[in-house]
Amino acid sequence: MRALNTAATGMMAQELNVQVISNNIANMRTTGYKRQRAEFQDLLYEHVSRVGTQTSSDGNILAAGIELGSGVKAAGTPRLMTQGELVRTGKDYDVAIRGDGFFKILLPDGRTAYSRDGSFELDAQGRLVTVQGNVVQPGITIPQNASSISINAQGQVSVTLPGSNTPSQVGQIELAKFVNKAGLEGIGDNLYLETPASGTPQNGTPATDGFGNLQQGSLEQANVEAVSEISELIAAQRAYEMNAKVISAADQMLSATANLMR
């Protein structure tokens, strides 16, 4: 009976849905996290009798055929790259992006990763690094004796050095942009990698060409909305239960068939 398999595809799809939702909820407080959404599509149809088939020699056609679907499949779990809320932290090296860009982060293996998480720190050499210690690209070194660090909306990093009244610029934060942000590959640690689907990164300075402004002393929260995730979770759970019921209904019918012969 086809219904058994069809319902099984439904259960698998809803299982994936719950997985995605639970990951979103788990990352509700993760800086720069972008929520994912499970998208589904119907599977192929068997056209048992095709609509439009001629049913008589005088040209009558079938007004509706018989189509039997075979269930559902997951089409993808794209990330929804909408802007998260900015929360004021007051910390000098916390930077939030208001717009489309990504910070460029150098991984230990030499690859460049992209991130929306701007909770930076300084390492022993005074370089601007992520919490994991990966260097922000292009490298920016803050002199040891510098005071009052300021990062403006355009990404210029300025410090005041002893014996000087005017701030001097020590670096410029660059951002990267993708034509298809949803196509980036998440690798954990709030980092994304470029993929053939995302397109190649376009580099630029903040506050130009739609790269987004930087805001010092703020962090971008996850764009997860608890209420919508919970309602999605309820819908997914109920859909899972209904698919399970279909399996037991199909089973009941099969057992009735088996009992035909006594």
Partner 1 sequence: MQSPTAGLGEPVAAAIRIVRPREGRRLADSKGEKPVDNASLVGLSRLVALEREIDVVANNIANLNTAGFKSDGVVFQEYVDETASSGDPTSTDSQVSFVYDVATWIDLGQGAMERTGNALDVAIDGSGFLAVQTPAGERYTRNGALQVNANGELVTSAGFEVLGASGPITLQPTDHDITISPDGTISVREGDNVKTESQRGRLRMVGFEQPELLLKEGSGTFMAPVDVTPQVDTKSRLVQGTLEKSNVHGVVEMTRMIDVTRSYTQVANMLVKEAELQQAAINKLAEVPA
Q: How far is the CB of 251 from partner 1 (least distance, A)?
A: 9
- Does residue 257 belong to the site contacting partner 1 (CB under 8 A)? yes
- Does residue 2 belong to the site contacting partner 1 (CB under 8 A)? yes
Is 59 or 162 the residue whose CB approaches partner 1 more closely? 59
- Does residue 66 belong to the site contacting partner 1 (CB under 8 A)? yes
Separation CA 240–CA 8 (nearest Å): 10
Q: Give the position of tokens 């005017």.
A: 166
Write phi, then psi, for 243 (nearest 5 degrees). -65, -35
Is 2 or 88 the residue whose CB approaches partner 1 more closely? 2
Q: Where are the alpha helices (DSSP H) in 144-225?
A: none
Q: How far is the CB of 124 from partner 1 (least distance, A)?
A: 37
- Does residue 88 belong to the site contacting partner 1 (CB under 8 A)? no
Among 3, 28, 86, 161, binds partner 1 (CB under 8 A): 3
Is 148 or 259 the residue whose CB approaches partner 1 more closely? 259
- Does residue 41 belong to the site contacting partner 1 (CB under 8 A)? yes
What is the C-alpha end-to-end distance of the chain, expressed in Å? 21
* Contact mark string toward partner 1, 162..191, x via CB under 8 A: ---------------xxxx-xx--------
Strand pairing partners for 233? none
Window 94 to 133, contacts with partner 1 (CB under 8 A): 99-100
- Does residue 134 belong to the site contacting partner 1 (CB under 8 A)? no
Give the count of alpha carbons within 13 A of 35, CB side only.
Answer: 23
SS3 content of the chain, % helix, strand, coil (to 5): 25, 30, 45
Stretch binding partner 1 (CB under 8 A), from 70-78, 126-134, 141-149, 213-221: 70-78
How many CB atoms sit inside 10 A of residue 112's CB?
15
Separation CA 171–CA 176 (nearest Å): 16
Which among 95, 101, 98 is positioned nearest to 118, based on CA atoms? 95
| Number of residues engaging partner 1 in binding (CB under 8 A) | 74
How many CB atoms sit inside 10 A of residue 88's CB?
11
Is 78 or 167 the residue whose CB approaches partner 1 more closely? 78
Structure tokens at 127: 């370089």
Separation CA 204–CA 212 (nearest Å): 10
- Does residue 57 belong to the site contacting partner 1 (CB under 8 A)? no
Window 194 to 253, contacts with partner 1 (CB under 8 A): 196-199, 202, 208-210, 235-236, 238-239, 242-243, 245-246, 249-250, 252-253
Parallel/antiparallel/unpaired status of strands 213-216 and 95-98? antiparallel
Among 22, 26, 50, 168, binds partner 1 (CB under 8 A): 50
Is 45 or 139 the residue whose CB approaches partner 1 more closely? 45
- Does residue 39 belong to the site contacting partner 1 (CB under 8 A)? yes
Q: Between the CA atoms of 111, 112, 117 and 123, what dihedral angle is there, to the nearest 10 degrees? A: 70
